Structure 1
Amino acid sequence: MKDSSKKWFSLIAMSLGVFMGLLDVTVVNVALPTMQKVFNEPFAQLQWVLNAYTLVFAVTLLIVSKMGDMYGRKKVFLASLILFVIASVVNGFAPTLLILDIGRGIQAIGGAGMMSLSMALVASNFDGKRRGLALGILGSVIGLSSASGPLVGGLLVDAFGWSSIFFINLPIGIIAVWMTIRFVNETPSYGKDQKIDFIGMILSAAALFSAIYGLIQKETHINWAWTDLRVGGWLVLAVVFLALFIYAEAKVQNPMMNLKMFKNINFVGSALVAFALGSGIYAFNTYLTVLMQNYIGWSAFDTGIRQLALSVWSLILGPVVGILGNRFSKKWMIVAGLLISGAGFLFLIGQMSPTMGYAQLWPTLVMIGIANGIVNPLLNSAGLEGVAPHEMGMASGLLNVFRQFGTSFGVVILGLVEANRYADVVNQHAAGLHLPAKLTQGLINAGPFSGHQIAFSDVISKAPFAHELQKVVVNAFDKGLVQICYVAGAIVLIGAIGAAFFMRESKEIIE
Structure 2
Amino acid sequence: MSGAPPQPHLRGSSQVTTATPSAPSQREVNPWVVLIVLCSGFFMIMLDSTIVNVALPAMLDGLDGSLDQILWVINAYLLAYATLLITGGRLGDIFGPRNLFITGLSVFVLASIACGVSQNTTQMIIARVVQGLAGALLTPQTLTIITAVFPKERRGAAMGVWSALIGMSAIAGPIIGGVLVDGVNWRWIFFVNVPIGAVGLWGAFRFVPDLRPGRSHRLDLPGVLLVSASLSLIVYGLIEGERYDWGECWGPITIWEIIGAGVVLLIAFVVYERRPSEPLLPLALIRNRNFAVLNWLQALIAFGLMALYLPVVLFLQSVLDMSAIRAGLTMAPWAVATMFTAPFAGRLADKYGAKWVLMLGLALFSLGVGLMIAAVDLDAGFLSFLLPGFVAGGGLGLSMAPLTAEALREVPPVQVGAASGMLNAVRQVGSVIGTAVVGAVLQAQLSSSFASQARDRVAGVDAPAEVKTQLIDAFSEASDSGLQVAPGQNGGVALPDGVAPDTASTLEQVAHDVFVNGFTDAVKPTLAVPVVVLAVAALSCLAIARRRAAAEVTPAPAAAPDKAPAAAD
User: After TM superposition, is the score higher than 0.5?
Assistant: yes
Task: Give runs of aligned pairs for residues 281-300 of structure 1, distance below 5 A.
Answer: 281-300=305-324
Correspondence for 2:66: 42
Q: Indicate the residue corresponding to 1:18 in structure 2.
A: 42
Counterparts in 2 of 1:80-479, with a 5 A limit? 80-190=104-214, 192=216, 194-222=217-245, 224=247, 229-432=253-456, 433=458, 434-436=468-470, 439-450=474-485, 455=490, 457=492, 460=495, 463-479=505-521
TM-aligned CA deviation for residue 457 of structure 1: 4.7
Over the aligned positions, Cα root-mean-square deviation in angstroms equals: 2.3
1:501 partner letter: A
2:94 to 55, 70, 73: 70
Q: Tell me the secondary structure at the aligned position of residue 242 of structure 1.
A: helix
Q: Structure 1 CA distance, aligned partners of 2:281 and 2:429?
A: 18
- Between the aligned partners of 1:465 and 1:138, the Cα distance in structure 2 is 52
C-alpha separation in 2, matches of 1:20 and 1:139: 14
% identical equivalent positions: 26
Q: 1:21–1:112: 8 Å Cα contact kept in structure 2?
A: no
Q: Partner letter of residue 205 of structure 1? A: S
The code of the aligned residue for 2:529 comes to: V
Tell me by how many angstroms 1:281 deviates.
Answer: 1.6
Greater shift in the superposed pair: 75-84 or 280-289? 280-289
Single out whichever of 495-504 and 261-270 deviates more from structure 2. 495-504
What residue is the counterpart of 1:483 in the other structure?
525
**Residues 39 and 144 of structure 1, relative CA distance in 2, 3 Å threshold:** same
Q: Is the 8 A contact 1:337 1:375 kept in 2?
A: yes
| Larger radius of gyration between Structure 1 and Structure 2 | 2
Distance 2:237 2:392 in 1: 29
Alignment CA distance shift 1:44-1:486 (3 Å):
same
How big is the shift at 1:390?
0.6
Name the CA distance, whole Å, in 2 between partners of 1:273 and 1:54.
21
Report Cα offsets for 1:49-73 as digits up to 9, x if no partner. 1100110000010111001012211
2:498 is the counterpart of 1:498? no
Query: Using the alignment, how far apart are the partners of 1:111 and 1:267 within structure 2?
Result: 23
Unaligned runs of 5+ in 2: 1-7, 12-28, 459-467, 497-503, 557-563
How many correspondences in the alignment?
A: 510
Q: Once structures 1 and 2 are overlaid, which stretch shifts more, 235-244 or 461-470? A: 461-470
Distance in 1 (CA, whole Å) between partners of 2:202 and 2:30 is 13
CA distance in 2, matches of 1:457, 1:141: 36
Cα distance in structure 2, aligned partners of 1:249 and 1:25: 30
The 2-side partners of 1:263 and 1:223 are apart by: 34
Instruction: Tell me the distance in 2 between the aligned counterparts of 1:339 and 1:418.
Output: 24
Aligned-pair distance for 1:221?
3.1
Shift of 1:297: 1.2
- Relative to structure 1, is the Cα distance of residues 283 and 504 closer, same or farther in structure 2, using a 3 angstrom cutoff? farther
3-state SS of 2:364 partner: helix
Change (3 A) 1:199 1:458: closer
User: Aligned partners of 1:355, 1:159: CA distance in 2, in Å?
Assistant: 29
Instruction: Tell me the distance in 1 between the aligned counterparts of 2:359 and 2:277.
Output: 38
Q: CA deviation at 1:132?
A: 2.3
Q: Aligned residue for 2:84? A: 60
Query: SS of the counterpart of 1:221?
Result: coil
More helix by share: 1
Deviations 1:112-157 (A, max 9, x none): 2222210111111221433222222222223222321111111111
Q: Which runs of 4+ in 1 moved over 4 A?
A: 451-454, 456-463
- 1:158 to partner: Cα distance: 1.2
1:218 maps to amino acid: G
Task: Give how far 1:18 is off.
Answer: 0.5
**Deviation, structure 1 residue 249:** 0.8
Displacement after TM superposition at 1:359 (Å): 2.8
- 1:34 alignment partner AA: A
> How many Å separate the matches in 2 of 1:135 and 1:164?
30
Query: For residues 191 and 216 of structure 1, do their structure 2 counterparts lie closer, same or farther at Cα, with a shift above 3 Å needed?
Result: farther
Change (3 A) 1:243 1:191: farther
Cα distance in 2 for partners of 1:17, 1:415 equals: 30
The question of whether the paired residues in 1 share the 8 Å contact of 2:311 and 2:442 is answered with no
Cα pair distance change 1:474/1:504, threshold 3 Å: farther
Pair 393,252 (structure 1): closer, same or farther in 2 beyond 3 Å: same
Q: What is the letter of the counterpart of residue 531 of structure 2?
A: G
Contact 1:283-1:408 within 8 A present in 2 as well? no
- Cα contact 2:304–2:434 (8 A) shared by 1: yes
Cα drift, residue 235 of structure 1 = 1.1
Cα distance between partner residues in 2 of 1:282 and 1:474 = 22
- TM-score, scaled to structure 2: 0.85
Match status 1:6 vs 2:30: yes
**1:212 corresponds to which letter in structure 2?**
V
- Is the deviation greater in 406-415 or in 119-128? 119-128
Counterpart of 1:169 in structure 2: which amino acid?
N
**In 2, are the aligned partners of 1:269 and 1:503 still within 8 Å (CA)?**
no
When residues 190 and 54 of structure 1 are mapped into structure 2, their CA distance, relative to the original with a 3 A threshold, is: farther
- Provide the rounded CA distance (Å) in 1 between the counterparts of 2:493 and 2:302: 37
The answer as to whether partners of 1:276 and 1:495 remain within 8 angstroms in 2 is yes
Report the Cα distance in structure 2 between the residues aligned to 1:248 and 1:236, rounded to whole angstroms.
18
Q: CA deviation at 1:109?
A: 1.2
Distance in 2 separating the partners of 1:316 and 1:429: 42
Q: Secondary structure at the match of 1:172?
A: helix
